[in-house]
Amino acid sequence: MSLGKRVPAEVGFWFFILGEMSVFSLFFGAYLWNLGSHRQAFAEDASNLVVPLGLLNTLVLLASSYVVVKAVIAQRSGDNLLAQRMVGLALAGGGLFVLFKVAEYVVELSGGHGLTTSRFFGYYYVLTGLHLMHVAIGSVLLLTWRRGLSQSRTSLRWAECAAGYWHMVDLLWLVIFSIVYIGTHA
């Protein structure tokens, strides 16, 4: 790294992100351990998931991450109005994610697949529910960033932290989608 470069966001933020991802890694490890021990039962239960909704949510979050990158770039260049619009689009993506996830929960619950139905669905609801909570927290950060932009009082460091958190949420979803929706069938 050259002397003129700096690490985006705050150093403490990266330790926080590492901690969050470590907690999720423990859940992922437990899931994969149980998947290995109960492959047939997990595969049967996973066949009840609405994979197209999971894929749609994946695409929504990837698109929202893209516009968050555009928002940071716009703020760096001093275009707070464009940054505000991009953060608004990311917020809309977060809202769509929640809408699709609730629809998926309704489908699963109406099909008799609740938290205590099986080991697989226990993990499914804990992983996706914990992730949904992080989407809500990320949405609050994005909303705060957007309001700050409208009042020209959001620092670039703070924006980078909010964007980094949103990217972490997206990365965690990519792992959840990969191991729960796709990998369970492999």
Q: In order along the chain (186 residues), what is the average pLDDT of each group of 10 residues?
A: 60 88 96 96 95 96 97 94 96 97 97 96 97 96 92 83 95 97 84
The closest alpha carbon to 52, from 185, 182, 184, belongs to 182
Question: What local confidence, expressed as pLDDT, does residue 11 receive?
Answer: 75
What is the rounded distance in angstroms from the CA atom of residue 61 to the CA atom of residue 131? 12
| Helix residue ranges per DSSP H, the chain | 11-37, 39-46, 51-76, 80-110, 119-150, 156-176
Indicate the DSSP class of residue 180: I
Q: What is the pLDDT of residue 7?
A: 63
Cβ pair 142, 90 in contact under 8 A: yes
Q: Residue 110 is which amino acid?
A: S
pLDDT at 4: 57
pTM above 0.85, yes or no: yes
Per-domain boundaries in the chain: 11-185
Which of 144, 131, 161 minimizes the C-alpha distance to 87? 144
CATH architecture of structural domain 11-185: Up-down Bundle (1.20)
